[in-house]
């Protein structure tokens, strides 16, 4: 068994359902204790955060990851127990294999090989891990990023180990992400009997046209790096459950995934203008989950592309598609940020799995990236 697969299995055995690290950090520290490392704990509330750095001067490359995983769902639906890593051919099954304990294992073993070669380093690198990415994510990297800035720790390059690949390892590198802006809209009416609508005010009826207008709006046309901004309604709740009662209010939960062609403030203003024109009595609460970011070019993108080509023989596509990642908190610090990891086909699913040969190759890719930037 390769060191990468062995470590990945050990991490999977730790039932680190968010926000619980479940002993993953001590395991990782034990692997690196023979090297000259600096360990900084950045815990907050019930969340564990750790920064491990190597080297004293020069630009700083950080591998960013999370040890927490999403809940398993009904374990009876799994082919194998989700916290008992199981091999089936080239596949390794278990919760977190792809998202993202496999990437963490690959980076740790890449680090071990690189440091064992006693290189002459011109820069610094390290590992930043949190146990709070899959959950509320309030006390993980969202908290850590400004704390690093306050302490004068500047990150130049950030390699996020999220599963970015689509069909083959390294076929996609995420060099940016769309912004995410959420809203909870409450439309206020007046409850009443359906037989006497003149004595009530139905918030569903009043809001329908405004919601339709929002769905039909073209927010922007995107650009060379981002698709057009999208607006989606994810939840609508109203009513008492009775068929003869006009509801007194309605709650609508919605989300924007937006490009760099617009801003969160512009989106808020445009939405509220539509609601005001519709003469709705409403209250809206906004939550900015992350601004869009883009690393269009630079040393990090170049190192990642060249390393994937060297190890896998394929040329990756640069993409900003998909959801959000913790990279959204690091990019505003001025760092170049990319995401590169295994296939994302089974993440958050029953029977999550990863190719073991992919993980071994990913470790080689990570080592090549480190060498390109560090020596």
The rounded distance, in Å, linking the Cα atoms of 347 and 340 is 15
What is the rounded (10 degree) CA torsion for 124, 130, 133, 134? Answer: 130
Do the annotations mark residue 134 as ligand-binding? yes
The rounded distance, in Å, linking the Cα atoms of 258 and 239 is 32
Q: List residues bridging with 286 in a β-sheet.
A: 183
Do the annotations mark residue 99 as ligand-binding? yes
Q: List residues bridging with 236 in a β-sheet.
A: 252
The rounded distance, in Å, linking the Cα atoms of 372 and 370 is 6
Do the annotations mark residue 218 as ligand-binding? no
Do the annotations mark residue 45 as ligand-binding? no
At residue 224, φ and ψ (nearest 5 deg) are -65, -20
Query: In the numeric block, which tokens belong to residue 9?
Result: 């299995």
At residue 273, φ and ψ (nearest 5 deg) are -65, -40
Query: Which is it for strands 353-355 and 91-93: parallel, antiparallel or unpaired?
Result: antiparallel
Query: Which is it for strands 172-174 and 317-319: parallel, antiparallel or unpaired?
Result: parallel
Known catalytic residues are 68, 133
Measure Cα distances from 232 to 62, 116, 217, 268, 287 in Å.
Answer: 34, 50, 11, 14, 15
Query: In the numeric block, which tokens belong to residue 154?
Result: 């500047």
Q: Prior bond to 331 cis, omega within 30?
A: no
Residue ranges for the known binding site for Zn(2+) are: 66, 99, 134, 162, 348
Residue ranges for the known binding site are: 66, 99, 134, 162, 348
């Amino acid at each position: 068994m390769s060191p990468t697969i062995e470590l990945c299995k050990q991490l999977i055995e730790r039932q680190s359902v968010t926000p619980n690290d479940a002993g993953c950090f001590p395991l990782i520290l034990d692997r690196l204790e023979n090297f000259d490392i600096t360990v900084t704990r950045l815990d907050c509330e019930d969340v564990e955060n750790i920064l491990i750095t190597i080297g004293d001067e020069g630009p700083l490359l950080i591998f960013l990851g999370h040890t927490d995983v999403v809940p398993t769902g009904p374990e009876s639906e799994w082919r194998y127990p989700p916290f008992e890593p199981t091999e089936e051919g080239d596949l390794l099954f278990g919760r977190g294999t792809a998202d993202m304990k496999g990437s963490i294992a690959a980076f740790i073993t890449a680090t071990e090989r690189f440091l064992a070669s006693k290189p002459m380093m011109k820069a610094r690198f390290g590992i930043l891990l949190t146990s709070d990415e899959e959950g509320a994510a309030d006390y993980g990297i969202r908290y850590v990023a400004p704390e690093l800035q306050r302490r004068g720790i500047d990150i130049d390059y950030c390699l996020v180990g999220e599963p970015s690949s689509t069909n083959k390892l390294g076929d996609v590198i995420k060099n940016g992400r769309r912004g995410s802006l959420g809203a909870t809209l409450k439309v206020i009416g007046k409850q009443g009997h359906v037989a006497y609508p003149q004595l009530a005010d139905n918030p569903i009826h009043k809001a329908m046209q405004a919601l339709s207008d929002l769905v039909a709006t073209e927010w922007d046309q995107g650009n060379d790096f981002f698709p057009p901004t999208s607006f989606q309604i994810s939840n609508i709740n109203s009513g008492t459950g009775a068929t003869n009662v006009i509801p007194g209010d309605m709650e609508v939960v919605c989300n924007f995934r937006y490009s760099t062609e617009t801003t969160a403030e512009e989106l808020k203003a445009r939405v509220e203008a539509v609601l005001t024109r519709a003469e709705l009595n409403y209250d809206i609460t906004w939550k900015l989950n992350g601004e869009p970011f883009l690393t269009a070019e630079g040393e990090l993108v170049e190192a990642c592309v060249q390393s994937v080509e060297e190890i896998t023989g394929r040329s990756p596509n640069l993409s900003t598609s998909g959801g959000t990642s913790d990279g959204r908190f690091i990019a505003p610090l001025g760092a170049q940020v990319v995401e590169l990891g295994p296939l994302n086909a089974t993440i958050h699913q029953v029977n999550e799995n990863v190719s073991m040969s992919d993980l071994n190759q990913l470790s080689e890719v990570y080592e090549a990236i480190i060498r390109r930037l560090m020596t």
